[in-house]
Structure 1
Amino acid sequence: MSNIPETGRTPRVTIRLVVLQILVLSLLFTLGGRLWFLQIRDGDQYTAQANSNNVQEVVTPAVRGAILDAKGVPLADNETRLVVSASRTDLLKQKDDGRAVLTRLASVLHMQPDEVRKKVRLCDSQTPKPCWNGSPYQPIPITDEATTQQALQIMERREDFPGITAEPTAVRRYTSPFGANASQVLGYLSPVTDDEITDAEKEGRSLLRSDQIGRSGLERTYDTQLRGTAGVTRYEVDNLGRVIGKAGETPAVPGSNLVTSIDARVQAVAEKELDQAMKVARKTFDTVTGSYYKADSGAVVVMDVHTGQVIAMASAPTYDPNVWVGGISAKDYAKLTGKKSNFPLLNRAIQGQSAPGSTFKAISTSAAVKAGYSIDGHYPCPSSMTIGGRVFNNFEGESAGEITLAHALEISCDTVFYHLSYDQWLKDGGTKPKKHPADWFYKTAKAYGLGSVTGIDLPSEVTGRIPDRQWKRDYYEANKTYWCKVAKSDKQDYASQIARENCVDGYVMRAGDSVNYAIGQGDTLVTPIQMARIYSAISNGGKLYQPTIGKAIISADGKTITRIKPKVTGQAPASAKTLKYINQALEGVVTSGTAAWRFNGWPQDKITLHAKTGTAEVAGKQTTSWFTTYSKDYAVIMTISQGGTGSGGSGPAVRAIYEAMYGVQKDGSIDNRKALLPHPETALPKITADGTIQTRKAAWDMPALPSAPGDAVFTAAALPPDRTERFLLGRRYGA
């Protein structure tokens, strides 16, 4: 027995019991507090989260709205195709990450296994196309060209193809009516990215991981209106993922339709004539370089001079926008973006910049009159001028004596504009300019809108460049380190000599800069859409319109129509008298000037044309062809890089476009029955009670599709299969 008294144990046991009770009470209090926090204070939040864990969402994409021409002919719409898709989630559950399934699928689809596997990998900065840049939880399309037999093979052997589906899906289609491609105008689609979803949330917009969004062209500009709102069906599932009921449904809202000012038939003609002009140029020998013209790119714009609406816009080289549908292949992507592609994704009409050559002289004429030179005066047109020890020649070394400004425009005399610009440069102080030089030639060009975007409803338009004093200063600051480094070298080539000059005073506006600028040479850059806007203003009395292609947005049910109205954003910096004077001079270019040889037999008394030719010289390249023209209705502007002279390279193509629109025959007669667009289209296509947009009867100028009484509804479903196929193949103008 222990000798320790009982009274010695009692206090220690009591203390332990008290401590234990305190700990138990503390734990109970903590647990109770936590339960109160979870169930009462934040109970609703956690209840909602718990419920969401038992709900799965299935997204139903909205049908994208169509893009239509001015008469209602679809340029881009949708068709039902059998789409084979793969679920990455299901594939990754398999032991081999789905490699065997994808290999079997490739065999059924007659594709290479590696090609199929690449399509289901996720895109990142290190992964080349093809890859999937959408949500990894969304079914990934493998092909949208599956046959019925292939779809049946997959669906009847589900055990061999877990995670693979084959079902009818609405797929974008670029129809090329009458052979009108319009790829750079329309743009293309691709899956949304995570960054775009995040940005949309910040802006209060809704984007789903299943969405396809516009990447360029009208598809991008009007993406929100065209895309509509996807539908979402919410299913209740148990902890094993089995559906036990429907939790709710939000139906899809189809996108609105976009009616454009494009005329599909005129678009087809413009594309055809641009392509033909470039082919002819490549067979034309350039005596200056001793080789054939390369004609490596070009653009044409047809604009309604009274609204700024674009009737046709073509860019070359071009591409088929359908290659993007269902995901672009690596081979096709390389063709569009590789170094040898010449970048067909560029829209040269709004992104192609080059010196405008003599087409700039209409602007210089306005500048000269504003500077105080007499509109009725006579000015010397010698074969050359020597300024600062350098000889500046007329383009072909011609001399015309004392002539008017109008005659200088007609025959495109360079030395008249050299003289005017040089004289004004001297008045502004020469190499030691006044504190506030007038700079009429530069300010007038900017007042016409050059050096700025026109605001056309297409993405990524460029500004061009007006090389005024501020630009000279900025350019000098950006390049002086390089110039001065070259200046210290022993090189004696031309580029090194220029670098030495620029190192010393590259910020100075020299006489040579000003005289070259006056004839559209030097550092000046313009785009075809800018010149179309300017020459439209000369035609309409001075209104500078913001160019537009979108004409109206029409809801899917046809009940809401939002017109996109023409907008005047400026006034030509010339009086009515000056514009009338330039008008008459530019008519003379067609009747007796530099373009006359291309318009023999033209019915000028019935359809009066005005024009200005331009041949821009580019260092290290062949000359760029420019041809700017207009009638009382339309401006037609064409340019071909390394394509020769203005009238030589582009003249016949521009004439052919006018012939097609006005129905002018080869003998000079006019056949209104063959005129594609003798007057600009002002009305919208007819909309039926159910929202269907009808094509106007005049659009059906196709023997393969017999005309029906009244207006014809244009939908693929409304046509017999043989006629549908015939239309989808397109019909080249004149074929």
Structure 2
Amino acid sequence: MTNIPATGRTPRVTIRLVALQILVFSLLLTLGGRLWYLQIRNGDEYAHEAASNHVQQVVQPATRGAILDARGVPLADNETRLVVSASRTDLLKMEDDGKAVLDRLAGVLGMKPEEVAEKVRLCDAKTPQPCWNGSPYQPIPVTDEATTQQALQIRERAEDFPGITAEPTAVRRYPAPAKSRTSQVLGYLSPVTDDEIEEAKNTRSPLLRSDQIGRSGLERSYDKYLRGKAGVTRYEVDNLGRVIGQDRSDKSVAGSSVVTSIDSRVQGVAEKELDGAMKEARKQMDRNTNRHYEADAGAVVVMEAKTGRVVAMASNPDYDPNAWVGGISGKDYSRMTSKKSNYPLLNRAIQGQAAPGSIFKVVSTAAAVNAGYDFNGGYNCGSSYSIGGQVFKNFESQSHGAIGLGRALEVSCDTVFYALAHQQWKKDGGLKPDKKSKDWFFRTAHQFGLGKETGIDLPNEVRGRVPDRQWKKAFWKANKDSWCKQAKAWPGKKDFQTLLAREGCLEGMKLHAYDAVNYSIGQGDTLVTPIQMASIYSAISNGGTLYNPSVGKAVVSPDGKHVDEIKPTAHGKLPVTKKTMSQMDDALAGVATRGTAAWRFGGWPQDEIPMHAKTGTAEVYGKQTTSWFATYTKDYSIVMTISQGGTGSGASGPAVRNIYNALYGIDAKGGIDKKRALLPEPQAKLPKIEKDGSIESQPVKPYKPEAPSDSDTVEQAAAVERRRG
């Protein structure tokens, strides 16, 4: 028989079988390796995680530390309340998602069913307040104001209220001693979110789902000290949820207390005087607009001149921080975040920016001297100053002849500073600046600490603005497209906004002469905050040291054994010689005795407590003028500002004088009554710490002024300033 030769099929089948065997072997090897990894390499870890599925945690929240004023008086502490909470986990197991239970709960608590439902819904991008911003697995507080009778009803009828608890719980309290709410300085709390828990896992202060954390103010800045550490007890349970043993327990650790430099009595006076000044301004007619001043917002800072510590800080409008305790209502949340209420959550002392007006002239004075101009030289204080066809007038077109820089500060002569800034602008090259130009007026402002944060220990401080050449270029790049688009309407449309857009499109990158002269008197694009100006005037008072403003003074452990004092920290020196500093100091004393602020300090004991001041009235396009009043003594600096409030001495002057009266105990005749003085010198020592860790608190008596606040009107203020210059 003839052999038939093999075809090519047999080798192909063999190759396929070999490949299949290799694939199967690889899969088995991979599976074996994975089993080894899970059972041997990481076996203990996964066994522990599996076991933890049968461990339930019971959390004992830590008592949050108190925030105290400089005398140990609580500004924020805790009180025990009956808190009614709902478990979403339990409610969602019900057929109606717990609606019937929540309706019954609303009836017991005297609330509307929709109010209760809003309290327990979860926050997201589309859900407005009120809603729950914390973990959905954490009991959600419905109210922290339950009565004993309501709590007993809920507990005795537990079968009608599954998933509902009513227990005594320590909750935050803001007692407002001496009627000082201290709202924006203290801040508020809200529940921790899942994202925050995840972020804090590997830090020294991990978060639990039951935690509440500070969202603003001191509550946020010092949260890691105040929060403490919650206690956790872990129970082993079977598949039916029955406890079969205790795994381990970690005791809770109370939070530390924070002692501040705030004096609640002075804070109360500052808040009252700011509010009173704004109300008084609203009664006055603005002769430029023929309507009453709006006085829509304001701020005041009282600072220790030699340390930078904040004694009082008020911002208006303000809010009651207690509104956040137990969950904020929809009505309160809308009020705090609405344009109509002018955003009371904003701390205008550190976040409010405005042109400073003439209180900025201390910077321009220092800049002029640094640029080589003689402090005592003769500079023409004419009624106006012209650049090309543009005329820049002195305030009220006043003229004082040839005067020195000191007198220019006293009478707040604009034209002296116009001329100096214009001359220096030309020396620097004008529209074609020399690469080596000194830019003294802008450089000095940066050296004074403007255009950057002061470093205060409160969150979200803003920088303000020094509109130098670099800023002009950056601002032009950011806006040129929109400017040029709007400018296309020219010349058919010749309104002011279109004119500005056309100019910005063509030459917005250049620093013009009018930019320089407006800047020299604190106008134009210049922006500052009250805390920045308080720091500057404190530095002038203390000889030139710029301190980081601070509110926290010490952190005290719960047992009182560890006290970490927060020392004053300096971040720079004013770029001014001792001679010039002394000359400026004399001139600012002259403002209070014979200049634009003299009528506000009539009868002041100048020999015993030398007063120094500078008034400011800043113009803002489309709005009424901003009132500024900056002052200092050897102990304190006080700066107040009122948006759309009128003149510096007219609107803010009386209130600042009244704060000084309270600090030093000045009576109506200018005498010093030390018994009435709230704080004749800064509080240097910390309050006494008892052996049990508690902190001794001094009695608080609200300050009562001897005489009513100065009732001079804004129109009278303008008249006096016209007469005095």
Per the TM superposition, whether the score is higher than 0.5 is yes
Deviation at 1:202, TM superposition (A): 5.1
1:425-574 mapped onto 2 (5 Å cutoff): 425-489=425-489, 490-574=492-576
Deviates more, 1:541-550 or 1:596-605: 596-605
Deviation at 1:432, TM superposition (A): 1.6
Output the CA distance in 2 between the equivalents of 1:56 and 1:141.
21
The 3-state SS of whatever aligns with 2:79 is strand
Residue 184 of structure 1 aligns with an amino acid whose one-letter code is: Q
The 3-state SS of whatever aligns with 1:265 is helix
Residue 532 of structure 1 aligns with an amino acid whose one-letter code is: A
> TM-score, with normalisation over the residues of structure 1?
0.90
The equivalent residue for 1:601 is 603
Deviation at 1:49, TM superposition (A): 2.2
Q: Percent identity?
A: 67
Instruction: Please say if 1:421 is aligned against 2:424.
Output: no
Output the CA distance in 2 between the equivalents of 1:371 and 1:119.
63
Output the CA distance in 2 between the equivalents of 1:507 and 1:34.
64
Output the CA distance in 2 between the equivalents of 1:482 and 1:236.
65
1:516-549, Cα deviation, whole Å (9 max, x unpaired) = 0000000000000000000000000000000000
Deviation at 1:50, TM superposition (A): 2.8
Deviation at 1:437, TM superposition (A): 1.1
The equivalent residue for 2:19 is none
The equivalent residue for 1:726 is none
For the structure 1 residues 96 and 431, does the alpha-carbon distance in structure 2 shift closer, same or farther, using more than 3 Å as the test?
A: same
Output the CA distance in 2 between the equivalents of 1:362 and 1:428.
21
Output the CA distance in 1 between the equivalents of 2:418 and 2:71.
47
Deviation at 1:29, TM superposition (A): 12
Checking the alignment, whether the CA contact within 8 Å between 1:265 and 1:733 is kept in structure 2 is no
Deviation at 1:431, TM superposition (A): 1.4
Checking the alignment, whether the CA contact within 8 Å between 1:179 and 1:733 is kept in structure 2 is no
The equivalent residue for 2:712 is none
Output the CA distance in 2 between the equivalents of 1:679 and 1:57.
52
The equivalent residue for 1:681 is 683
The 3-state SS of whatever aligns with 2:672 is coil
The equivalent residue for 1:714 is none
The equivalent residue for 2:250 is 250
1:142-181 mapped onto 2 (5 Å cutoff): 142-181=142-181
Output the CA distance in 2 between the equivalents of 1:640 and 1:311.
20
1:277-313, Cα deviation, whole Å (9 max, x unpaired) = 0000000111111011000000000000000000000
Output the CA distance in 2 between the equivalents of 1:246 and 1:589.
74
Checking the alignment, whether the CA contact within 8 Å between 2:662 and 2:705 is kept in structure 1 is no
1:172-211 mapped onto 2 (5 Å cutoff): 172-201=172-201, 203=203, 205-211=205-211
Match among 630, 638, 641 for residue 639 of structure 1: 641
The equivalent residue for 2:304 is 304
Output the CA distance in 1 between the equivalents of 2:117 and 2:654.
50
Instruction: Please say if 1:700 is aligned against 2:699.
Output: yes
Residue 463 of structure 1 aligns with an amino acid whose one-letter code is: R
Output the CA distance in 2 between the equivalents of 1:141 and 1:611.
51
Output the CA distance in 2 between the equivalents of 1:30 and 1:319.
64
The equivalent residue for 2:693 is 691
For the structure 1 residues 364 and 40, does the alpha-carbon distance in structure 2 shift closer, same or farther, using more than 3 Å as the test?
A: closer
Residue 404 of structure 2 aligns with an amino acid whose one-letter code is: T
Deviation at 1:508, TM superposition (A): 1.1
The equivalent residue for 2:668 is 666
Checking the alignment, whether the CA contact within 8 Å between 1:358 and 1:412 is kept in structure 2 is yes
Deviates more, 1:269-278 or 1:86-95: 86-95
Deviation at 1:410, TM superposition (A): 0.5
CA RMSD of aligned residues (A): 1.9
Checking the alignment, whether the CA contact within 8 Å between 1:381 and 1:400 is kept in structure 2 is yes
For the structure 1 residues 586 and 29, does the alpha-carbon distance in structure 2 shift closer, same or farther, using more than 3 Å as the test?
A: closer
Question: Any unmatched runs of 5+ in structure 1?
Answer: 1-26, 703-730
The equivalent residue for 1:10 is none
Deviation at 1:388, TM superposition (A): 2.2
1:333-352 mapped onto 2 (5 Å cutoff): 333-352=333-352
Deviation at 1:41, TM superposition (A): 4.5
Residue 469 of structure 2 aligns with an amino acid whose one-letter code is: R
Deviation at 1:468, TM superposition (A): 0.1
Output the CA distance in 2 between the equivalents of 1:134 and 1:732.
41
The equivalent residue for 2:620 is 618
Checking the alignment, whether the CA contact within 8 Å between 1:179 and 1:732 is kept in structure 2 is no
The equivalent residue for 1:584 is 586
Residue 531 of structure 1 aligns with an amino acid whose one-letter code is: M
For the structure 1 residues 733 and 35, does the alpha-carbon distance in structure 2 shift closer, same or farther, using more than 3 Å as the test?
A: same
Output the CA distance in 2 between the equivalents of 1:732 and 1:160.
52
Checking the alignment, whether the CA contact within 8 Å between 1:662 and 1:672 is kept in structure 2 is yes
> TM-score, with normalisation over the residues of structure 2?
0.92
The equivalent residue for 2:122 is 122
The equivalent residue for 1:319 is 319
Checking the alignment, whether the CA contact within 8 Å between 1:452 and 1:463 is kept in structure 2 is yes
Residue 390 of structure 1 aligns with an amino acid whose one-letter code is: Q
Instruction: Please say if 1:105 is aligned against 2:105.
Output: yes
Output the CA distance in 1 between the equivalents of 2:245 and 2:560.
35
Output the CA distance in 1 between the equivalents of 2:696 and 2:404.
53
The equivalent residue for 1:290 is 290
Output the CA distance in 2 between the equivalents of 1:29 and 1:426.
82
Output the CA distance in 1 between the equivalents of 2:651 and 2:137.
54
The equivalent residue for 1:650 is 652
The 3-state SS of whatever aligns with 1:694 is coil
1:468-509, Cα deviation, whole Å (9 max, x unpaired) = 000000111111112222222121112212222222211111
The equivalent residue for 1:727 is none
Q: How many residues align?
A: 680
The equivalent residue for 2:74 is 74
Output the CA distance in 1 between the equivalents of 2:628 and 2:30.
84
Output the CA distance in 1 between the equivalents of 2:661 and 2:309.
20
For the structure 1 residues 535 and 35, does the alpha-carbon distance in structure 2 shift closer, same or farther, using more than 3 Å as the test?
A: closer
The equivalent residue for 1:722 is none
Instruction: Please say if 1:95 is aligned against 2:95.
Output: yes
The 3-state SS of whatever aligns with 2:397 is coil
Deviation at 1:732, TM superposition (A): 7.3
The 3-state SS of whatever aligns with 1:635 is strand
For the structure 1 residues 241 and 540, does the alpha-carbon distance in structure 2 shift closer, same or farther, using more than 3 Å as the test?
A: same
1:429-485, Cα deviation, whole Å (9 max, x unpaired) = 111211221110000000000000000000000000000000000111111112222
The equivalent residue for 1:46 is 46
The equivalent residue for 1:362 is 362
The equivalent residue for 1:231 is 231
For the structure 1 residues 35 and 391, does the alpha-carbon distance in structure 2 shift closer, same or farther, using more than 3 Å as the test?
A: closer
Output the CA distance in 2 between the equivalents of 1:662 and 1:676.
7
Residue 236 of structure 2 aligns with an amino acid whose one-letter code is: E
For the structure 1 residues 33 and 195, does the alpha-carbon distance in structure 2 shift closer, same or farther, using more than 3 Å as the test?
A: closer
Output the CA distance in 2 between the equivalents of 1:615 and 1:477.
31
Checking the alignment, whether the CA contact within 8 Å between 1:68 and 1:260 is kept in structure 2 is yes
Deviation at 1:93, TM superposition (A): 1.4
Instruction: Please say if 1:266 is aligned against 2:262.
Output: no
Deviation at 1:201, TM superposition (A): 2.3
Output the CA distance in 1 between the equivalents of 2:30 and 2:661.
90
For the structure 1 residues 441 and 29, does the alpha-carbon distance in structure 2 shift closer, same or farther, using more than 3 Å as the test?
A: closer
Deviation at 1:31, TM superposition (A): 11
Deviation at 1:623, TM superposition (A): 0.4
1:240-282, Cα deviation, whole Å (9 max, x unpaired) = 0011221110001110000000000000000000000000000
For the structure 1 residues 246 and 512, does the alpha-carbon distance in structure 2 shift closer, same or farther, using more than 3 Å as the test?
A: same
Residue 594 of structure 1 aligns with an amino acid whose one-letter code is: T
Checking the alignment, whether the CA contact within 8 Å between 2:205 and 2:224 is kept in structure 1 is no
Checking the alignment, whether the CA contact within 8 Å between 1:130 and 1:327 is kept in structure 2 is yes
Output the CA distance in 1 between the equivalents of 2:605 and 2:82.
54
Output the CA distance in 2 between the equivalents of 1:184 and 1:40.
56
